[in-house]
Chains A and B, each alone.
Chain A
Amino acid sequence: MSGQPGAPPGSLPGPPQGSPHSGPSATVGPRTTQLRLLPRGPKPAWSVVASFVLLGLVALAAIFGSVVFADATKQSILDSLLPPFTAGHLLGTDELGRDVFALLVAGTASAVVGPLVIALGSMTIGIVLGTLAGYHRGWLDMIISRFSDVLLALPVMLLAIVVAGIFDAGYWMTVALLVLLFSPSDIRIVRAGVLEQAPRPYVEAAQMLSLSRWRIMFVHVVPNVWPLIVTNVLLNTSFALVTLSSLSFLGLGVAPGTADWGRQIADGRGLMADNPAALIAPAVLIVLVSMAINVVGDWFGERLERKGIR
């Protein structure tokens, strides 16, 4: 039945003729759908730039802080309660004579690393369970969704206080607990994203090629949910920063005497009259850093969304 086909086989080596307006004159005017003419080059606002600068400084402090200010926690009663802007003590000292600025810098690591680990750890759980639930649906979805519902129903702070208080858990134990407690929102968000992607033709085309489920889920689908993932990781980081600091403010998770922002606030409560910086500086820093993470997270999410998936 081969007959004489109209188009001689393989005799069309010409240029690709996919689009009628892919010619040289197509440089003028829009090429894609006409209504997609929204802002092209994202120009970061000043708030985004400021947030990046702040987070850069925080990162530096987290890495080198404890080296540069190795003796930040050294007490010297003679120098206690110096007000801010005293020579040699920019933000003054607390009642144990520790330099507030040095404490802040040295405490950065414990303030920032924990939340990062919490956000990344819970997102790992979220990606695995959320993708499984969203892609497979059915009973697996049922189990995973109910599991995350139960976790979501638990009050994070209360449970952390109880566990950390009763079992006298250390910093990393608390972090591990928070990884678990932070995971339900990640599971839900990833599941929703995967649910939206799964019925798309490119996924069905991958199924038609009989690729393995794991490959379809984690190589094809998950990268398309990436904007959601990045945004939520950063959002959770700032939330975890506040949660962890609150716990150490209550004296949980962090051993007394260690450099930690939450701890500093707790210690600084009584020093308002003598050295307000001991209380205000760490508090303002927590607020600023968590805000900066949020701003950067939003910016990232928007950019990724604009770049990739449409």
Chain B
Amino acid sequence: MSGVRGLVVEKLAVTGPAGAIVHPVDVVVPPGRTLAVIGESGSGKTMTARALTGLLPSGVTATGRFSVDGDALELPADPSAWRRVRGRRIVLLMQDPFTSLSPVHRCGDQIALTIRARIAFERGADRAAAVRRDRTVRGAVQAEVLQRLAEVNLPAEVARAYPSALSGGMRQRVAIAAALAARPRVLIADEPTTALDASNQGEVLDLLLSLQRAYDMSLILVSHDLGLVSGRADEVLVMRHGEVVERGRADHVLVRPQHEYTRKLLEANPSINDVMGSTAASTGQVGPTGQAGATAEFAAAGAVPLASTDDSFGPESLLFAEGIAKRYGTTQALAGVDVDVRAGEVVAVVGESGSGKSTLARCLAGLDAPDAGSVRLGGETLPPRRRGRTPDQMQIVFQDPYSTLNPVFTVEQTLREALRVAGRPAEDLTELLEMVDLGPEFAGRRPSQLSGGQRQRVAIARALAPRPRVLICDESVSALDVSVQAQILELIVRLRDELQLAVLFITHDLGVVARVAGRVLVLRRGEAVERGTTADVLTRPQHPYTQLLVAAARDDSIARQNHDPAGSLP
């Protein structure tokens, strides 16, 4: 196989202490081409990526062989063999730009480190330190740092900045610059944009792809986000339980999936375009006539669905908050925001991190006391500071399924406690579990024995135990895999209808909004920039910021939309 350019992987398998994690897989990625590896958590996609850089956790081993531009490596390889490959021919770009950069070194120095390592390698020296002492290269290294920063569209000042001074998107650009400074032949990007805001994701990924083409690298893009991958990858590999269930050209697999699992993934992937189609009709409150029906219904209900007007507000709403403001230190997290939610309605609050949407949720729930403004529930004004004083009226479901339940409590203990608080009999436990589609066998389990989706179901059951009238969901599905996400969203919509809940749904994901919400509130830097019905805001955004958000979300699913009508449903 010598002479073959690009990355060639043969019979790569990964084995852990509990058995096979990845079953043998063959992959070829020619230079300049992109392979997307898609799957949900536990599918083995990250392990595959890590096996190619020799960065597997202890107790996990890889077998097989791979070659980069004909230079082969047999696995398992010893550390010295890896040093020849890792960080030189193959570079791994990590998911989290908040931890992959060293917090105590300037960004420029971190890029320079890679450059010096490369120069040292080219000279045949073993250590980058030898190059650091060499004054003749110093100027060249500095010049290249600036060049690399310019390449990722960052100003030269960033070289002197510490990572903490940069936004997530900028940090990931620095990480890309550092990764490319090694001039690798193969770049493995493990969920490179998952930790970024929606509007940043497409931009950073496109930058990565343009650099990949410019340098003629092979790129492996590991992702769970089908929307992001479609239109960007050449080939797709869909993994499940460590096995490849489907592979092929991206425009085939993502448009006409052959395997049922791929089809399920595509369907579960929430897309902003749902608001146009039948999904909104079945899950939203827009009724069978779809978008037009929604508009009509809101107009009839006195909620004029015009953007940027306050007409859609009514103090008669179940939850009605006015002028909520909150300041943390010198940051104005919220600058006077109004919200209202009626019984049996889902209102989404959309914004990027830092927009104040979580602060809004906390102020409404009474976990934080707002500096100004009032919260009224069923016509009654609530005291601002009431941590744990209004149990049955309002409940909140948090984002992270891993810390939302007390790890030492069983499901039963958690739910019994919530029932007792509301004065409900302990026998209601079964009913509560049924409500969130969990069998009675879950009662005795502890959180560590549950999956993320199951934990979130328990959290929802706990929140509903006191029969609240308002449910606040603070990014409650963003930590979950898409298929689980779809189930939880369905559950929330169903409970909204069954229990006539007023639901305030905080999210950064417009695809999720399209699935569940009847109305939307767009927050930016603590201010409401737009509000209206979901259909209106997503199809005719008025505010430039909303337009940007919608455009970013639309780009990600555009490929699907174009092919969708006949393709995905055989």
Contacts and interface: CB of A to CB of B under 8 A. Distances in A.
Interface in A274-297: none
Contacts of B500: 2
B230 interface: no
A3 interface: yes
A120 to B, nearest CB: 21
B517 interface: no
Interface in B1-19: 16-19
Nearest to A1: B344
Given A209-B388, A310-B448, A35 B57 contact: yes
A20 interface: yes
A235 to B, nearest CB: 22
Given A21-B241, A209-B421, A201 B403 contact: yes
B18 A29 contact: yes
B33 interface: no
B64 interface: no
B172 interface: no
A243 interface: no
Contacts of A208: 365, 367, 388, 391, 394-396, 463
A15 B439 contact: yes
Contacts of A34: 21, 41-42, 44, 46-47, 57
B241 A26 contact: yes
A2 B404 contact: no
A19 B484 contact: yes
A32 B41 CA distance: 8
Contacts of A210: 388-391, 421
Given A10-B498, A201-B398, A31 B57 contact: no
B98 interface: no
Interface string A29-66: 11111110111100000000000000000000000000
A204 B367 contact: yes
Interface string B152-164: 0000000000000
Interface stretch (B250-258, B347-355, B373-381, B451-459): B451-459
Interface string B429-447: 0000010011100100000
Interface stretch (B203-211, B281-289, B321-329, B332-340): B281-289
B490 interface: yes
A19 B452 contact: yes
B439 A16 contact: yes
B285 A1 contact: yes
Interface string B344-364: 110000000000000000000
Interface stretch (B111-119, B136-144, B405-413): B405-413
Nearest to B279: A6
Contacts of A309: 407-408
B466 interface: yes
A211 interface: yes
B42 A39 contact: no
A28 B19 contact: yes
B453 A19 contact: yes
Nearest to A213: B388
Given A30-B16, A201-B398, A211-B388, A1 B418 contact: no
B42 A21 contact: yes
B428 interface: no
Contacts of A206: 388, 406, 417
Contact of B405 (A30, A33, A202, A308): A202
A28 B241 contact: yes
A4 interface: yes
A83 B67 CA distance: 74
Given A29-B16, A208-B391, A210-B389, A17 B462 contact: no
Given A7-B494, A16-B438, A207-B367, A224 B391 contact: no
A43 to B, nearest CB: 13
Given A16-B438, A208-B367, A6 B283 contact: yes
Main secondary structure of the interface of B (DSSP, over half): loop
A207 B484 contact: no
A179 to B, nearest CB: 27
B42 A1 contact: no
B400 interface: yes
Interface in B527-558: none
Given A20-B40, A37-B59, A3 B497 contact: yes
B20 interface: yes
B60 interface: yes
A86 interface: no
Contact of B454 (A18, A28, A38, A200): A18
B57 to A, nearest CB: 5
Most buried by B among A2, A21, A208: A208
A226 B407 CA distance: 12
B309 interface: no
B24 to A, nearest CB: 14
B304 interface: no
A210 B281 CA distance: 37
B481 interface: yes
A167 to B, nearest CB: 44
A30 B438 CA distance: 22
A16 B58 CA distance: 33
B342 interface: yes
A22 B417 CA distance: 27
A200 B403 contact: yes
B447 to A, nearest CB: 9
Nearest to B419: A209
B17 A40 contact: yes
B301 interface: yes
Contacts of A18: 438, 450-454, 457, 484, 487
Contact of B59 (A19, A31, A39): A39
A223 interface: yes
Contacts of A22: 451, 454
B344 A37 contact: no
B387 interface: yes
Contacts of A205: 396, 398, 404, 459, 462-463
A17 B417 contact: no
A14 interface: yes
The 4 closest A-B pairs by CB, nearest first: A19-B451, A6-B282, A18-B454, A201-B398
Given A34-B42, A210-B388, 15 more contacts: A3-B497, A15-B439, A18-B457, A29-B242, A30-B21, A40-B17, A201-B400, A205-B396, A205-B398, A208-B391, A209-B391, A209-B421, A209-B465, A209-B466, A211-B421
9 contacts: A2-B344, A3-B285, A16-B437, A18-B454, A25-B241, A29-B19, A37-B58, A209-B417, A220-B409
Interface of B: 16-21, 40-44, 46-47, 57-60, 240-242, 281-283, 285, 287-288, 301, 342-345, 365, 367, 387-391, 394-396, 398-400, 402-409, 417-418, 421, 434, 437-439, 442, 448, 450-454, 457, 459, 462-463, 465-466, 481, 483-484, 487, 490, 493-494, 497-498, 500
